[in-house]
Amino acid sequence: MYQVRIHGRGGQGVVSAAEMLSVAAFLEDKHAQAFPSFGSERMGAPVMAFCRIDSKEIRLREPVMSPDALIIQDPTLLHQVDLFSGVTTEGLILINSTRTFGALGIGEFVEGFHPDLLCTVPATELALKHVGRPLPNAALLGGFAAVCDQVKLESVIAAIREKFSGKVAEGNVAAAREAFDIVMKEREEASHA
């Protein structure tokens, strides 16, 4: 079973991200469970959503305590909330940012992690470019498909098209594709370094 935890703020589509990820896994004939963790609902408050992926029925009903992967939609949470609880050095971390892990102040924290599993992608910028709205979730999932072998980009794209329609869907798809490419390149560079 593969466990993903997504962090962000209310209004950034964190819950939708988890749902789309689960749909992507479903489209690959896997079992997936996605659910939110609610605090008081308001725009801007820290929120978490979870997604589990497995080849068989998922019976476990608890928040993801030991994530295999972390997706951080809002880096301003980095030094405010304990985002990394339960993460091991085997973990995958994808951050919505133009800055490096070092510049974000967590360079030391990720020492010992696999460098090709530590990625950043400017998802908000991509969303603004392709969709015109600063909602980074779809783009992030595109990036996620590049670093995580649980879902393929095509599945993510199909999931995006299920959740959104028309121009917004295509814009998100374009953002996801570009994010995928960016992360693939980043990983290549990291493994050559």
Partner 1 sequence: MLKQCEGSHAIAESVALCRPEVICAYPITPQTHIVEGLGEMVKAGDLKHCEFINVESEFAALSVAIGASAAGARTYTATASQGLLFMAEAVYNAAGLGLPIVMTIGNRAIGAPINIWNDHTDSMSMRDAGWIQLYAETNQEAADLHIQAFRLAEELSMPVMVCVDGFILTHAYERLDIPTQEQVDAYLPPFEPRQVLDPGEPVSIGAMVGPEAFMEVRYLAHHKQMRALELIPQLSAEFRQVFGRDSGGLMRTYRAEDAKTIVVALGSVNGTIKDVIDELRDEGYAIGAATILSFRPFPSEELHELLSHAKRLVVIEKSLAVGIGGIVSHNLRMALSGISLHAYTVVAGLGGRPITKASLRSLFERALRDELEPLTFLDLNQPAIDRELAREKERRRSGPSAENILRDLASGGPR
Contact residues for partner 1 (CB under 8 A)?
Answer: 18-19, 22-23, 25-27, 31-36, 38, 58-63, 65
In terms of CB distance, is 22 or 97 closer to partner 1? Answer: 22
CA atoms within 13 A on the CB side of 21: 35
Residues 6+ apart with CB under 8 A from 154: none
Q: For residues 181 and 142, is the Cβ–Cβ distance under 8 A? A: no
Find the shortest distance in angstroms from Cβ 28 to partner 1.
Answer: 11
Find the shortest distance in angstroms from Cβ 99 to partner 1.
Answer: 29
In terms of CB distance, is 61 or 192 closer to partner 1? Answer: 61
Find the shortest distance in angstroms from Cβ 31 to partner 1.
Answer: 6
In terms of CB distance, is 30 or 177 closer to partner 1? Answer: 30
Q: Which of 105, 109, 93 has its CA nearest to residue 190?
A: 93
In terms of CB distance, is 65 or 103 closer to partner 1? Answer: 65
Residue 163, CA distances (Å) to 14, 34, 58, 126, 180 in order: 13, 14, 23, 18, 19
